[in-house]
Amino acid sequence: MTGFWTNTYVETAANYSVAILCILVFLVVFELVTSYKNWDEIKKGNLSVAMATGGKMFGIANIFRYSIAHNDSVLEMMAWGSFGFVMLLIGYFIFEFLTPTIDVDKEIGKDNRAVAFISLIISVGLSYIIGASI
């Protein structure tokens, strides 16, 4: 049975499955902290929400990419990926805090693409910084 867990295909499937599950859980958390309903807005064609959500998804996936590359077990990968997600979430709140004249959530909800694009870039950029630190 030891050989089973060290098989590259099994490791890949485990990493993939855990990363997908974590991405889904973390998207639910992002849904809870935003003032709009991501998937309802995306269904309505709100490109800003799609860009901001896509940036978050890419950011989380990128953090897990680094976590998989630098950890030997699925549990370590999940722990570091979760820690990276928390850091990304903190970055989101810092973005909100550092832009007191812009209510980021409301602007994205109103389909302000400029704010959404900055949100996307912040999520992606921070994911590289977080990932490099893992």
Q: Which of these, 47, 55, 56, 54, lies nearest to 110 by C-alpha position?
A: 47
Model confidence band, residue 117 (pLDDT cutoffs 50, 70, 90): very high
Q: Mean pLDDT in the chain?
A: 92
pTM, whole model, 2 decimals?
0.87
The C-alpha atoms of residue 2 and residue 66 are separated, in whole angstroms, by 25
